[in-house]
Structure 1
Amino acid sequence: MANIKDLKKKIKSTKGTLKITEAMKLVSAAKLNKAQNAILNARPYANELEDSIKTISALVEDYNHSFLQNNESKKEVLLVISSNKGLCGGYNSGLAKVVKNYVANHEDPSNLEVHFIGTKVKELVEKLVNVGGFYEFEKAEPQHHEIADLASKLSALFSSGEVGKVSIAYNIFYSAISIEPTVKQVLPMTLDSSEKEELKEKYPFDFRYNPNAEEILNGLIPEAYTSAMWTAILDATAAEHGSRMSAMDSAVGNCKDAIRTLTLKMNKLRQAAITTELIEVVSGAESLNG
């Protein structure tokens, strides 16, 4: 059974942990605010851009772009976006589970090459997958031009026919307590026949384009692809800070509960020791009087 001295040490240690977790929670909350604003501002543009491309490409006849076409290659590149740091709840473990399931259900895992941003999921799955590239950036959070360069490298593999599919695995951010690990295909940017028919029914007329529709799509399609990659990074960043803030909030609560429990236990031991001393004093006095 622990004595009072041991309990004092545990309380002191737990208070130190409490200070650290509170500080990490505040830092994550500040970073989350910035990251949340970034993804909420970027999503409408990315969604509208994607919708515009779907609509125009469905209505324009005899248009071809390399990003829209399937090629014969059976090889696929999967880019996994995780964190370089831990202490963020199930942020990395949940994503790792989705990646493992994706690899396990792949028609030919030997044709799946996995690239990584962030080390944590890489450490969890690298023995189970064909590891491709690992990407690092100047700062902890990559800049837009760095992601644009990476997107260009992966699209070049697709356009050359070396790979037939490019996908990304990341956490979608909904709130600090709600994220969703997912795998999203970014190349080819396919539009199935049912979607085309739906759009043609929705827009039974043709639009006037200036310049022509081909030029517009030639500019918008690469932009939409890069935007999808950038939005995934913003989602992953916001999800990481939200998960870490939530995890540290839980840790703060657990520390406070532990301190209360240890303090109560220490006070009970102290009270028991005082009671024992009083009994001994009274017993000694009674023996002298007897």
Structure 2
Amino acid sequence: MANIKELKKKIKSTKGTFKITKAMKLVSAAKLNKAQVRILGLRPYSVELEETVRTVSALAANYTNEYFTQKENTKSVVLVISSDKGLCGGYNSSLAKTIRRFTAETKNEDLKFFFIGKKVRDLIQKEVNSGKTFTFAKADPTYEEVRKVADELGAMFINGEVGKVYVAYNSFISAIAFDSKVRQLLPMQVSASDKETIKSKYPYDFKYEPSAEQILDTLVPEVYLTTVYTCVLDAIASEHGSRMNAMENASKNSKEVIKKLSLKMNKMRQARITTELIEVVSGAESLNG
């Protein structure tokens, strides 16, 4: 029967899809393992470095730095970190939704979007003021490549071209979860209440060698760069985790489709055999009659 042949083709095609999704899941799992080690290794250092700068800057009397300077400029730049490839579940659509909500909440700022990865860019470029898309030699940018991106955006802030620098990315939580967020990078902020809390926590003087100002002038740019790099690693780990889960779900769905199609084909084959048997028996009875 033609229908059985069609079902066989569909089963064969679905089995091919299953092999592809299963292989992609294994590849993503291997990449996730490496990315997870990198982000979980860097994040504690990044958090501790940022906390150290916050503490020292709050305790240092009258300390000022260009990275802390509030600008009157209402122009802002947003670095969007997404993927270049699809097939990763809600990874890109979730980030695009978060960006749209952020844009609606910051109508008083003139936002310009820069991109790492093209998928979210393709989703929102008609809705926002799109700027440069950064490209790299390989899929995962190196520390030096991220430094160039951070320096370019940082220079825009220091020169007064923009008043704020944001980063939009997916923060890695686990292999099956991420959090889409928009985070302000510049200017760095330590509120008056935070300063009072820090001062009450450390009611004594620290000894600095060299001076606190010299230490902060060295660490503040490092905090900014490390934060950008951490966001990139967060996004990479989230992407691989999301793709691994998407491929796992696709593989499960393929197996379910194969099972249903096979059952349907077997029923049709059994019905065909039953019909042929009935015809044979009927023919034999008519001859004996």
| Superposition deviation, residue 42 in structure 1 | 0.4
Alignment of 1:48-197 (within 5 A): 48-108=48-108, 111-197=110-196
Could you tell me which residue of structure 2 aligns to residue 199 of structure 1? 198
Within 1, Cα distance between the matches of 2:249 and 2:210?
55
| Superposition deviation, residue 107 in structure 1 | 2.6
| Superposition deviation, residue 217 in structure 1 | 0.2
Within 2, Cα distance between the matches of 1:91 and 1:246?
11
| Superposition deviation, residue 104 in structure 1 | 1.6
1:167-215: CA deviations, max 9, x gaps?
A: 0000000112110100000000011111111111111111111111011
Could you tell me which residue of structure 1 aligns to residue 46 of structure 2? 46
Within 2, Cα distance between the matches of 1:18 and 1:170?
30
Secondary structure (helix, strand or coil) at the match of 1:113 reads: strand
Give the counterpart letter for 1:285 in structure 2.
Answer: A
Could you tell me which residue of structure 1 aligns to residue 284 of structure 2? 285
Within 1, Cα distance between the matches of 2:194 and 2:65?
18
Within 2, Cα distance between the matches of 1:255 and 1:83?
25
Give the counterpart letter for 1:280 in structure 2.
Answer: E
1:259 is aligned to 2:264: no
Within 2, Cα distance between the matches of 1:219 and 1:142?
24
Q: Percent identity?
A: 58
Moved more, 205-214 or 81-90: 205-214
Could you tell me which residue of structure 1 aligns to residue 12 of structure 2? 12
1:232-279: CA deviations, max 9, x gaps?
A: 000000000000000000001000011011101100100000000000
CA, structure 1 residues 270+38, in 2 after alignment: closer, same or farther (shift >3 Å)?
Answer: same
Report the number of matched residues: 289
- Residue segments in structure 1 that go unaligned for 5+ positions in a row: none
1:249 is aligned to 2:248: yes
Secondary structure (helix, strand or coil) at the match of 1:219 reads: helix
1:48-88: CA deviations, max 9, x gaps?
A: 00000010001010110000110111110000000000000
1:144-189: CA deviations, max 9, x gaps?
A: 0011111111111111111100000000001121101000000000
Give the counterpart letter for 1:10 in structure 2.
Answer: K
Within 1, Cα distance between the matches of 2:96 and 2:281?
66
Structure 1 length as normaliser, TM-score?
Answer: 0.98
Give the counterpart letter for 1:94 in structure 2.
Answer: S
Could you tell me which residue of structure 2 aligns to residue 212 of structure 1? 211
| Superposition deviation, residue 105 in structure 1 | 1.7
Secondary structure (helix, strand or coil) at the match of 2:258 reads: helix
Within 1, Cα distance between the matches of 2:248 and 2:78?
33
Secondary structure (helix, strand or coil) at the match of 1:198 reads: helix
| Superposition deviation, residue 2 in structure 1 | 7.6
Secondary structure (helix, strand or coil) at the match of 1:6 reads: helix
**Runs ≥4 residues deviating over 2 A:** none
1:105-160: CA deviations, max 9, x gaps?
A: 21335x11011110000000000000111110111111100111111111111111
Within 1, Cα distance between the matches of 2:236 and 2:20?
22
Within 1, Cα distance between the matches of 2:114 and 2:159?
18
Within 2, Cα distance between the matches of 1:202 and 1:26?
48
Secondary structure (helix, strand or coil) at the match of 1:38 reads: helix
Secondary structure (helix, strand or coil) at the match of 1:200 reads: helix
| Superposition deviation, residue 103 in structure 1 | 1.2
- Residue segments in structure 2 that go unaligned for 5+ positions in a row: none
Within 1, Cα distance between the matches of 2:14 and 2:118?
29
Secondary structure (helix, strand or coil) at the match of 2:67 reads: helix
Give the counterpart letter for 1:91 in structure 2.
Answer: Y
Structure 2 length as normaliser, TM-score?
Answer: 0.98
Within 2, Cα distance between the matches of 1:178 and 1:133?
29
Give the counterpart letter for 1:43 in structure 2.
Answer: R
Within 2, Cα distance between the matches of 1:99 and 1:133?
17
